[in-house]
Amino acid sequence: MAPDLMTPGSVKPACAAIVLAAGAGTRMDSDLPKPLHPVAGRAMVLRVLDALAGIDAGPIVVVVGHGADQVRAEVGARAPQPDQVVFTTQHEQLGTGDAVRVGLSALGERPAAADVVVLPGDTPLLRTATLAQLASVRRQQGAAASLLTAHLDDPTGYGRIVRAGGMVDIVEQRDASPAQVAINEINAGMYCFDVAKLRQVLPRLRLANAAGEYYLTDAIGLLARSGQSVATVTMSDPTEALGVNDTDQLAACEAVLTSQRRSRGPSGP
């Protein structure tokens, strides 16, 4: 049974969170669930939870699927805030939009934070300060959502940020036109939503895309086209946006963390 998300008299958390950790990771060439692959000795999903711990997020819903039992066991044993973690299962891999729907169902209708941070469980370089800025910008601007973007020399594989007339949209690479593919501002896949606005827009997601999935990215365009404000936060360090879908990307993240540790010296964390 999932724990109560809030208890009488408790302090309202800064934000809730949904961590997407249901993917199979077929390109990892391993039986280990993708979120559990270690980077510098710690599972990727735990590094994401470390970043969330720094902003006092709670409750944190971890959406599991492939290797669910293993992910639950590892996170339950090693998460920095295990009492804040709630697990839920995405039984069919129908895309990020569906995974967030499953995560919101786990949050339920009980009182919780007005904000929910949504992020993938395979971005081990993400920092607490970046998440804090993401949430802060949404609140300061009164936006329906805020999202992290980055400018990459090689944006291959990422959704592109399309700006027109003050509106923001996200187009996945497989659905993009040649002109959109040339855009180097990418969606990092990390968002902060007004919970009520997210609940309103999720039922409007459709399968009209090349992958046959419910894209969470479509929620951004739907909000913008309905007159809602969408804020963007450009990451000062684009390496934080690096996700892991194969062993080469895993090695790249390992190299970044190793380099950061060397630059901090023996006294660094």
Task: Tell me whether residue 262 is one of the annotated catalytic residues.
Answer: no
**Rounded Cα gap, residues 207 and 94, in angstroms:** 9
Asked if 162 and 169 count as a contact pair (C-beta separation under 8 A), the reply is yes
**Rounded Cα gap, residues 149 and 147, in angstroms:** 7
Phi/psi of residue 238, nearest 5 degrees: -60, -20
Six token digits for residue 47? 């590094």
Residue 238's CB is within 10 A of a number of other CB atoms, namely: 16
Burial code of 89-126, b = ≥16 C-beta within 10 A, e = fewer?
ebeeebbbbbbbbbbbebbeeeebbbbbbbbbbbbbbb
Which residues partner with 88 through β-bridges? 63
Asked if 84 and 206 count as a contact pair (C-beta separation under 8 A), the reply is no
**Rounded Cα gap, residues 257 and 268, in angstroms:** 12
Peptide bond into 33 cis (omega under 30): no
Residue 195 in 3-state DSSP?
helix
Residues in the chain: 269
Active site residues: 27
